[in-house]
A and B are shown apart, each in its own frame.
Chain A
Amino acid sequence: MKTGDLVSCTLGGETVEAIYITERDGMAVLKLSSGYNIGLPPTDVRFIGDAQERKAEEPLIIQDSTLPELSIISTGGTIASRVDYRTGAVTSRSTAEEIIRAIPRMASVGQYRTRQPFSILSENMKPSMWIELARTIYAEIEAGVRGVIITHGTDTMAYSASAVSFMLDTPVPVIFVGSQRSADRPSSDNAMNALCSAAAASADLGEVAICMHGTEHDDFCALHRATRVRKMHTSRRDAFQSIGTEPIATITYPELAVSPAPHAIQRGAQEPVLNDTMEERCALFSYYPGMDPAILDSYASYRGVVIAGTGLGHVGTTLMDGIRQLVRNQTTVVMTTQCLSGRVCDRVYDTGRDLLRAGVIEGEDMLPETALVKLMWVLGQTDEPGEIRKLMQESQKGEIVRRSAYGL
């Protein structure tokens, strides 16, 4: 039997007709005419007729050619979806027409062209896909779009955004957007985030950013610099937070008024350039009390390692030999902090000074994940140790804030 087939079964002594949905964990799932799904042993289900094919009626979408042209690149994150109430199936929508049908107001913000380089769950993202994504975005910018929107699952969105940020100099806004609550629910944050991202993509901005809910309310979205943002909650709408810096803009809802912050980079401030080599043999680990130094042996073949150390950027002295050995073998070791907020300083305590003597690079106030992505990119650009150190310690895309301002 296949989804949609007409079946019958006996429930409490009565014969009931239903629609066959699927078989899961040894149970047949049926949908009753009341709309409820039930599960029962497959042997209790009798086939009575084939699924009736129903072609969905879809209104024609005509885009307004006077509006700014925006590119929507979908990677698998669901910004729009459709529910088949007959079978209960939820499908994600990614063509321009489908997105406008799901979020009609999008049509009044821009006209859209869409690309889908791949479609994956964001936890399955890989550096090779970051490269593919960066190339796709670059091509869209070269094609002359006014802004680019990338729909992305939220789990690894911050990694992808910072990877694109390092690979790409962009004259136009490149806006990553997603939703924390599934797009099929009427309360989803998808529509507001999508609309705000379209407004941001047509605004006078010129950098890579993440656009998500600024608060628990449906009142404004915050635009976060790609290299300074982190998903700080598993499920809340306002999970994305700029760490150690202010968001680069806010977009009010439902007005969609974009207010850039003074430190935002303006549209056209840089020429489009793509530096799309990444060294994938890099790793990130968090130090914890009692960590077995032997774990470091498994990083012997890596070209770079980022450590999320304790406090100001420390590890236990038992790890010191292993770290010296890594550096000796040409592995770049960068220290960040598992505190996430604040700057690494390995000059205060002996352990820190030992790390510096061993050749560890202080990662300033970089987020550990950003430092990892940056290290992959830096090692993709140069093999020269002095150059690597210099690039790692200088801000390339706003990932390092030179002063720790009070009040953030």
Chain B
Amino acid sequence: MTEEEVAMEMEAVEAVYGEDCVILDSNPPHLHLHIKPRTAEISSQQFVEAVVRIQASSKYPDEPPRISLIESKGLDDQRQKHLIGIVQEKASQLSSSLMLVELCEEAAERLTIMNHPDGDCPLCLYPLFPEDGWSKEMPFMKLMSCFHCFHCECIIRWWNWLHTQKDTDSKSGDTLHMRRGTSTHEGNSGSGGQSLGNCPVCRKVFHASDIEHVLDLVGAQSSQKDSGLIQGEDEDPLLQSDSENVRRERFEAILKTQEEKGGLVQPKKNISVVPGMYLPPPAPVTASSNEEEAGHSREQGEEAPKEAESETNSSSSTNHRGRGRGRGRGQNVNRRKPNSQDPRKPTRQWVQRAREDDK
């Protein structure tokens, strides 16, 4: 291999990777490659990134370059080793031919495959990304506001549940499902309530746009599959609204770009997603605490029948609010006290009222 050939190879590397490639030395080649998953055009889809160093000796390419990891995000030790190991292996396989571009490609490909968070989905408790190659893989996403990750399917199911609950509730003039400090406040008028939610883990408020890309994914998948009834859930009819169609179109545009780039965002062909969940109207007795109603009672007490009022009064003399402390798994600490977001009402207490008094 001549020096010229190596120099040309370095030019090629520069041409391909542009700013992502920092050349420290051109002969023998020594470079830093900043790699991101190729599916991560949308920042919400990015869970990992890395800087890889490729350092060749004067015997390059007969002697393969040394590969090391300078920096990484979102990769645990095991995946770091795996990434470097694979690229090293590739280097030995290719020894004696010019290999820099291929090594860079290998690194980027591998990182793309590793573009997933660690740990379990907080909603179904199954791994976000099954490493055993046996369990069913499901798409996942992260909330941009807090970086908590969920299976797309799980968070959408929860999101739909919240809104179905809310719809049913407001129709029946009953409870509003979402809590104080959440969309019942900020988006209480009309469909505005659709726009905010709270992370199930930390209760941090997120905007619907945070999970929009997932709704897109779900929409695209249901358009690719004829059936929306999946997983044997008999209560899941297909969600087919206009807004779903719009989302789907937008998603397909993104999908096209991703395909051109060899991206992974493309939904798995064989995966099934539950796009919506039909929920029977709640039994008349399904009541959770009710901010709106509490508000009414605060204002006038009109809706509170006499007995309830007297209970209220008797209870208000006691400190009657149970608090869960030390929640398990180390998560969720401090996320209780939804009212703490409302400084105007710092001293509310729990009071209970008998159901049959309501109407």
| A and B part of one assembly | no
Q: Mark B residues whose CB is within 8 Å of A.
A: none
Q: Mark A residues whose CB is within 8 Å of B.
A: none
